[in-house]
Structure 1
Amino acid sequence: MIKTRITELLGVQYPIIQAPMGWIARSKLASAVSNAGGLGIIETSSGELDAVREEVKKMRQLTTKPFGVNIAQAYVRDADIVSFVVDQGVKFVTTSAGDPNRYCSQLKEAGLTVFHVVPSLAAALKAIDAGVDGLVVEGAEGGGFKNARDVSSMVLLPLVCSKVGVPVIAAGGMVDGRTMAAAFALGAEGVQMGTRMVSAAESPVHQNWKDAIVAAKETDTVFLNRFGPGAALRALRTERTSRLERDPGENGVMSEFKNTQALYFGGDMEASIALSGQVAGRIDEVKPVAQVIKETVAEFEAIMAEMSAKYGMVGA
């Protein structure tokens, strides 16, 4: 067990959290993460709350371990989303893509632990003022929707950690024990993995997407829609996204998500946009979640011991 404030708050063995990716972060993947000692997260960004409710029921059949739910505020279609989350009986929620003041007090009054996802120091301080229990600090090398004024984890993480006292989960660039050790050195007490989990054996996405991640180089993502309209995002490089990188069109790239199911589950990599982080360039194999977490923890512990032995004070 790796003991940090994150493991104590969440009741998990390892401070490794799975990112709440729309349509992907459901019971098959999330239960595998929780059963392996991390924390699985169920998404709500798909807006399919009836399906999400069933996924929570499946989670309780698939695992007895803790898990959480994410509220992606920009994609909320139900005014009673807080009641929905509370009714699922979970104790941990992450909020993202919006103002932390919107739901924080309601969630905390219901007894939930609340972490907010932030892409900047200003956003982190705003979340602290809103009363969150912790932060997910997300660097711009991560996949998915991003702040158009992008900052890498190497800069953002130590900056935020130097200014706040709450526990921090590092996201963006997190893929193994080496990056986890780096995140801890920069002040984090846990890590969140997205692209690594998309490519895992239990991920529900089509094998073509997993194969594309495995085949990707570190330069094979694109940062889209920096100048809007709509959110910026990082995705795998394909013919479609290479075109959008140069010309997002009058309506931005959001209209390109109409055929997500054809890509996510049909395997047509040109049908939509495959969100992915730069760590795709470091993933060379599809592995079961349990193996990913086991290897991450073992490498983390080995590196921490090696660094201590190599650079620790001798004879002090």
Structure 2
Amino acid sequence: MTAKPVKTRITEMLGIEKPIIQAAMGWIARSHLSSAVSNAGGMGIIETSSGELDAVREEILKMRDLTDKPFGVNVAQAFVRDPNIVDFIINQGIKFVTTSAGDPMKYTSMLKEAGLTVFHVVPSLQGALRAIEAGVDGLIVEGGEGGGFKNPKDVASMVLIPLVCEHVNVPVVAAGGITDGRTMAAAFALGAEGVLMGTRILSSAESPVHQNWKDAIVNAEATDTVFLNRAGPGPALRALRTERTTRLETEGSPNIFGEFADTQAVYFGGDLEAGIALTGQVAGRIRDIKPVAQLFEETIAEYHATIARLAG
């Protein structure tokens, strides 16, 4: 049985069936996974943070063979190597872009002048107001419990999402700790109109990462991630707890990017000690590996059940 739709400004603006956006994970968020998200009614996102734009171009072409549903591209500004990244995206015929890891003033006006819809990822109220000033169409508000690169002054979603929603009028997508219908309902109660899933989709059946990483997520406790590099230099980040990251948690590193070492061995070879496996705290609630379509259907059904229970 198909769960009844959840219609918000996010679904209407992006032309999607379910207000769920997939995180743009470097090397991982490519056509196989992202098309599964789009075909399941969410918004699949193709990454560019790998810097491999020739490969990204091919992944966008594959997306159009694999889905006729909307999808977008992420620009992680801190990792942009090509100064013509905006032209690259426009030339691929992309209509939706998420920008992150940088100043929203840099690309927003150029993207919007080309007719694209732009959401910016923010970790703070200050960042949200800056993005509004830049003219974004929406915000992805990311709490500190999420995986990946973070603001060193992290704020939990329970505080950050309503804080931002109190100060902006654009639609907000909640990120950080979202894994099911209950957390989606909680995010909506805080003022969001959509959710972004990272770790939950990372551990899905269609995710291309090695089974060792998925198994580590399924077996993780809520305390099995670490927040690294709070004092810098470079960005802070949240990752899976391993011997390597536990050492980094206590000793720090003068070069956090160097600690990633062999990313391909971690992501696709399954050697979780070869680098850093970016993972959110919500790994502590994930206990199985499911196809994206099943995951989304169950999320929407549980969302409705949660709202009904609260109303009753």
Secondary structure (helix, strand or coil) at the match of 2:140 reads strand
CA positional deviation for 1:71: 0.2
- Deviations 1:105-133, CA, capped at 9 Å, x for gaps: 00000000000000000000000000000
CA distance in 1, matches of 2:306, 2:253: 46
Greater alpha carbon shift after TM alignment, 81-90 vs 210-219: 81-90
Correspondence for 1:305: 308
Give the alignment partner of residue 88 of structure 1, picking from 89, 92, 100.
92
Q: Please report the TM-score for the alignment, with normalisation by the length of structure 2.
A: 0.98
CA distance in 2, matches of 1:12, 1:250: 43
Structure 1: which 5+ runs fail to align?
310-316
Correspondence for 1:163: 167
CA positional deviation for 1:2: 1.1
CA distance in 2, matches of 1:131, 1:29: 30
CA distance in 2, matches of 1:264, 1:139: 24
Correspondence for 1:122: 126
CA distance in 1, matches of 2:15, 2:41: 10
Check conservation: 2:229, 2:253, Cα contact below 8 A: no
Give the alignment partner of residue 262 of structure 1, picking from 262, 265, 274.
265
CA distance in 1, matches of 2:253, 2:30: 32
Correspondence for 1:208: 212
Structure 1 runs (4+) greater than 4 angstroms displaced: none
CA distance in 2, matches of 1:59, 1:88: 11
1:1-316 maps to which residues of 2 (within 5 A)? 1-251=5-255, 253-309=256-312
Structure 2: which 5+ runs fail to align?
none
- Deviations 1:4-51, CA, capped at 9 Å, x for gaps: 000001000000000000000000110000000001000000000000
CA distance in 2, matches of 1:258, 1:71: 23
Tell me the matched-pair count.
308
CA distance in 2, matches of 1:70, 1:250: 28
Percent of pairs with identical residues: 73
CA distance in 2, matches of 1:53, 1:173: 31
Residue type of the partner of 2:85? Answer: I
CA distance in 1, matches of 2:253, 2:174: 33
Q: Please report the TM-score for the alignment, with normalisation by the length of structure 1.
A: 0.97
Residue type of the partner of 1:290? Answer: A
CA distance in 2, matches of 1:157, 1:192: 13
CA distance in 2, matches of 1:19, 1:263: 18
CA distance in 2, matches of 1:58, 1:90: 14
CA positional deviation for 1:305: 1.1
CA positional deviation for 1:79: 0.5
CA positional deviation for 1:249: 2.5
CA positional deviation for 1:258: 2.5
CA distance in 2, matches of 1:216, 1:86: 40
Correspondence for 1:312: none
CA positional deviation for 1:88: 1.4
